[in-house]
């Protein structure tokens, strides 16, 4: 029986993946179209990776620039300005808000995301779903860390807990913590998960309710 759910946010609760893709492209276009294209391609293949890790990687790999912490923080602030309003105003993944409100008093639900924690809390408050979650956890800590931490601190049983995501980092966090993984599948991530069989796939939250029997 499912009693606890760990949710990724972008692409799972909000249909906001493209907001961040466009922001990364905008930030790297000054370095040329080829660099921007490489950044976008990596971002699409690694949706759940934190922006802090991505900026460090992109500058090092594509620009041969080693960023220090202050420089990464400045880039993250610029990125936040570009994406926050877009994510707040992004459409929901169909049925997600109804599901969260229907089950907020019946299940222990948490957000585990690659977005910084403070920003994620602000976004959830603005979208009117903050009260649906027992906790909201983001970068710079990774999803595997938060999954383990939440399970231990709340004395949750892995066999009663699922991870709902759309990125390979979500799947890895589920595997590391012996959780069943539910994939919100769409055009951009079908290829990434094509060969993975130990997952349950869904399109929207009406479909999700059928698959989970909730």
pLDDT digit string, tens, across residues 86-99: 999 999 999 999 99
For residue 42, the model assigns a pLDDT of: 94
Task: Output phi, psi for 108, to 5 deg.
Answer: -90, 110
Q: Which helix (H) or strand (E) holds 100?
A: helix 96-103
For residue 191, the model assigns a pLDDT of: 92
Q: What is 4-15+91-212's CATH topology?
A: Rossmann fold (3.40.50)
Q: Answer whether residue 25 shows pLDDT above 90.
A: yes
How do beta strands 135-139 and 161-165 pair?
unpaired
Q: Answer whether residue 47 shows pLDDT above 80.
A: no
What is the spatial distance between Cα 208 and Cα 183, in angstroms, rounded to a whole number? 10
CB 143 within 8 A of CB 170: yes
Average pLDDT on 71-93 reads: 94
Q: Answer whether residue 165 shows pLDDT above 80.
A: yes
What is the spatial distance between Cα 161 and Cα 180, in angstroms, rounded to a whole number? 7
CB 201 within 8 A of CB 90: no
Q: Which residues contact 186 (CB under 8 A, 6 or more apart)?
A: 11, 166, 203
| pTM (predicted TM-score) | 0.89
How do beta strands 161-165 and 4-7 pair?
parallel
């Amino acid at each position: 029986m499912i009693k606890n759910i760990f949710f990724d946010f972008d692409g799972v609760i909000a249909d906001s993946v493209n907001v961040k893709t466009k922001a990364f492209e905008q930030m790297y276009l000054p370095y040329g179209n080829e660099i921007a294209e490489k950044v976008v391609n990596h971002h699409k293949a690694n949706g759940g990776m934190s922006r802090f890790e991505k900026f460090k990687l992109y500058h090092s790999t594509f620009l041969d620039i080693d960023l220090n912490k202050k420089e990464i923080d400045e880039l993250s602030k610029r990125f936040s300005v570009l994406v926050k309003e877009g994510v707040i105003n992004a459409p929901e993944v169909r049925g997600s808000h109804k599901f969260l409100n229907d089950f907020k008093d019946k299940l222990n639900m948490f957000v585990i995301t690659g977005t910084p924690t403070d920003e994620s809390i602000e976004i959830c408050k603005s979208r009117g779903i903050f009260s649906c979650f027992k906790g909201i956890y983001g970068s710079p800590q990774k999803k595997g860390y938060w999954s383990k931490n939440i399970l231990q601190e709340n004395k949750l049983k892995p066999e009663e807990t699922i991870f709902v995501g759309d990125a390979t980092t979500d799947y890895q966090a589920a595997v590391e913590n012996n959780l069943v993984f539910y994939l919100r599948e769409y055009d951009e991530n079908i290829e990434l998960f094509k060969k993975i069989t130990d997952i349950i796939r869904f399109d929207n939250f009406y479909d999700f309710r059928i698959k989970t029997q909730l």
